[in-house]
Chains A and B, each alone.
Chain A
Amino acid sequence: MYNEQAIIVNKLENGNDLMEKGIIRVENLSAYYGELEVLKNINLEISPNKITAIIGPSGCGKTTLIRCLNRLFETVPRTRFSGKIFYKERDIISYDTTDIRKEIGMVFQRPNPFPTMNIYNNVIAGYKLNGLKLSKLESDQLVEETLKKVALWDEVRDKLYRSSTELSGGQQQRLCIARTIAVRPGVILFDEPCAALDPISTSKIEELMLTLKEDFTIIIVTHNMQQAARVSDFTAFLMAGQLIEFGYTDMIFTSPKDKRTEEYITGRFG
């Protein structure tokens, strides 16, 4: 029913039929590690150009949920899922795994730039490593434009050809975001992107997400409820593999409908 709520809100805001349907729709998704059911019958619709936060206690399946969306989940042995996930109204199973991952990019918990590459090549890694050729001019432009988008250009413009490992943790994470958006995905998944960062770097990433939602749909998994409240438009609360509540962030945080949500966000458990 909360899906409906989100969709109705979309309709009111945009009056646009395309917006009516979410860019990603999850239907009856259950996911398993071996025999263990980590996600139980999840139904969820992600609105385009919005930030959707997924919160919940450790081990509730938040990360598994977003790893299902770009089919990274199935790279782990002995995993399987049932149910359907639609990206732009098309079942993600019908995409090539490599294609869906270019459409749905991902930023990880720990900054993971490629240590063998310099900063410049890290930005265009999505092209280089996939064997796509860019002209010098194209790649120069792409690198500059992308690094400006993630507010890293001024900090690294003089050391583009230095190793990416020379950067600070926060800079590395922004470089990873640059690497992700350089291939122009429709959706970016953030898996606790600030868990390994200091408060200043964290606020930079949060600001960045707010500007990025103009061009991309963002889904962020976070442990930090303040972060979810600060940046997200919609929030999904997961517990023990079940979607407990999903709706407008404001409403989830001010007047949660479920008692468990209320207990979690007021810090009584989790």
Chain B
Amino acid sequence: MSDKFAKRKQKFFDFVVSSTITLLSLLTISPLILIIGYISYKGFNSFSINLITKNPVPMGEVGGGIFNGIIGSVIIILIASIVGVPLGILCGLYLVESKRGKLRHIIRLFVEILQGIPSIVIGIIGYIIIVMPMQRFSALAGGLTLAIIMIPIIVITTEEVLRLIPVELREAGIALGMPRWRVALFIVLRTGIGGLTSGILLSLSRIAGETAPLLFTVLGSQFFSIKIDQPIAALPLQIFNYSISPYPEWHSLGFAASFLLVILILFINIIIKTVVQRTSYYRK
């Protein structure tokens, strides 16, 4: 009899614990669902083909889009990637391959600290070391500043991915008489390429939405421009400016731009998942 009671008790607790966990995890993802839902609802209504093909128009005129912001963002992200991707990957490779324990330890510590620095602080740094000497806001300053945010993310994912590559594979290369630099480049990096790609995409999706550093470095622009030494428009800046404006038309433009940005980042994340699944030879 008591045995039966104990079993019932067990079942009851089982039910309580598992339903609590389920409920709490649903709670965790609810903000995401709310954000995507709200932005889709608001943004989709003001979304039109003009939005992505037209430049902004002066206040009072009807229509206009955010074409200049899309192009501006692409340029800034491209500059950031050209600088950040090679540096990040090489630094990650160094952390994995280096035999100098102390230096490696220090570098990793700095990278971790860098990742934790608020982006607005990095924006101020960008302002001081790039904008002030150049005497102007520019796409270049924005790109370089975003690269600083990008690098630690790439370094850390690169290190994690390359650590998963079995030592047997490196030794296979060494045993064939390959010098270490060849092993690092042609075996370690090449085998980890899927994971590296996802690290890069992850960092792209992170910087695509960064606004604070751009306020200090790029400034933004109402006009179409592709000059990298000039202030330039960018999606997050447009969202910021439109959203704090007093005009309802601009509000809806802001939502449309947010919608576009969220879709873009969602899309990048889906690509990450696919790339990782397709190209991972080794996983934990």
| Distance to closest chain A CB from B101 (angstroms) | 8
Q: In the complex, are the beta carbons of A72 and B182 less than 8 A apart?
A: no
Q: In the complex, are the beta carbons of A112 and B182 less than 8 A apart?
A: no
Contacts of B169 in A (CB 8 A): 112, 114-115
| Distance to closest chain A CB from B69 (angstroms) | 39
Nearest B residue (CB) for A108: B168
Contacts of A129 in B (CB 8 A): 173, 176, 178, 182, 186-187
Q: A72-B171, A114-B187, A129-B187 are in contact. Are A165 and B176 (CB under 8 A)?
A: no
Q: In the complex, are the beta carbons of A101 and B191 less than 8 A apart?
A: no
8 Å CB contact of A130 from B99, B166, B182, B190: B182
Nearest A residue (CB) for B279: A116
Q: How far is the CA of A126 from the CA of B183 in the complex (A)?
A: 11
8 Å CB contact of B176 from A75, A109, A116, A125: A125
| Distance to closest chain A CB from B96 (angstroms) | 14
**Interface digits, B213-231 against A, CB 8 Å rule (1 contact, 0 not)?**
0000000000000000000
**Interface digits, B35-59 against A, CB 8 Å rule (1 contact, 0 not)?**
0000000000000000000000000
Q: How far is the CA of A65 from the CA of B171 in the complex (A)?
A: 16
8 Å CB contact of B177 from A98, A108, A110: A98
**Interface digits, B83-113 against A, CB 8 Å rule (1 contact, 0 not)?**
0000000000000000101000000000000
B244 at the interface (CB under 8 A from A): no
**Interface digits, A101-119 against B, CB 8 Å rule (1 contact, 0 not)?**
1100110111011111000
Q: A108-B168, A110-B168, A165-B281 are in contact. Are A116 and B175 (CB under 8 A)?
A: no
Interface of B is mostly: helix
Contacts of B179 in A (CB 8 A): 98
Q: In the complex, are the beta carbons of B182 and A131 less than 8 A apart?
A: yes
A212 at the interface (CB under 8 A from B): no
Nearest A residue (CB) for B282: A115
Contacts of B186 in A (CB 8 A): 129
Q: How far is the CA of A70 from the CA of B199 in the complex (A)?
A: 36
Q: In the complex, are the beta carbons of A108 and B171 less than 8 A apart?
A: yes
Q: In the complex, are the beta carbons of B166 and A183 less than 8 A apart?
A: no
Contacts of B121 in A (CB 8 A): none
Contacts of A125 in B (CB 8 A): 176
Q: How far is the CA of A114 from the CA of B171 in the complex (A)?
A: 11
Q: In the complex, are the beta carbons of A105 and B175 less than 8 A apart?
A: yes
Q: A108-B168, A129-B182 are in contact. Are A116 and B174 (CB under 8 A)?
A: no
B134 at the interface (CB under 8 A from A): no
| B residues 173-212 in Cβ contact with A at 8 Å | 173-179, 182, 186-187, 190-191, 193
**Interface digits, A59-85 against B, CB 8 Å rule (1 contact, 0 not)?**
000000000001010010100000000
B172 at the interface (CB under 8 A from A): yes
Q: In the complex, are the beta carbons of A183 and B176 less than 8 A apart?
A: yes
A179 at the interface (CB under 8 A from B): yes
A198 at the interface (CB under 8 A from B): no
| A residues 5-38 in Cβ contact with B at 8 Å | none
8 Å CB contact of A115 from B173, B175, B178, B191: B191
Q: A115-B281, A130-B182, A131-B182 are in contact. Are A72 and B172 (CB under 8 A)?
A: no
Nearest B residue (CB) for A103: B177
| Distance to closest chain B CB from A36 (angstroms) | 19
Q: How far is the CA of A232 from the CA of B190 in the complex (A)?
A: 38
Q: How far is the CA of A98 from the CA of B182 in the complex (A)?
A: 11
Q: In the complex, are the beta carbons of A183 and B172 less than 8 A apart?
A: no
Q: How far is the CA of A102 from the CA of B175 in the complex (A)?
A: 7
Q: A112-B166, A112-B168 are in contact. Are A77 and B99 (CB under 8 A)?
A: yes
8 Å CB contact of A106 from B99, B175, B190, B193: B175
**Interface digits, B245-282 against A, CB 8 Å rule (1 contact, 0 not)?**
00000000000000000000000000000000000010
Question: Could you name 21 residue pairs across A and B whose Cβ atoms are closer than 8 Å?
Answer: A72-B171, A75-B171, A77-B101, A99-B177, A101-B176, A102-B177, A105-B175, A106-B175, A108-B171, A109-B168, A112-B169, A114-B169, A114-B172, A116-B191, A116-B193, A116-B281, A129-B173, A129-B176, A129-B187, A131-B182, A183-B176
Task: Taking A116-B193, A125-B176 as given, write out 9 further A-B residue pairs in contact, using a Cβ cutoff of 8 Å, ordered by the A residue number.
Answer: A70-B175, A77-B99, A101-B176, A102-B177, A105-B175, A108-B171, A114-B191, A165-B281, A180-B176
CB-CB nearest 5 A-B residue pairs: A102-B177, A106-B175, A101-B177, A115-B281, A112-B168
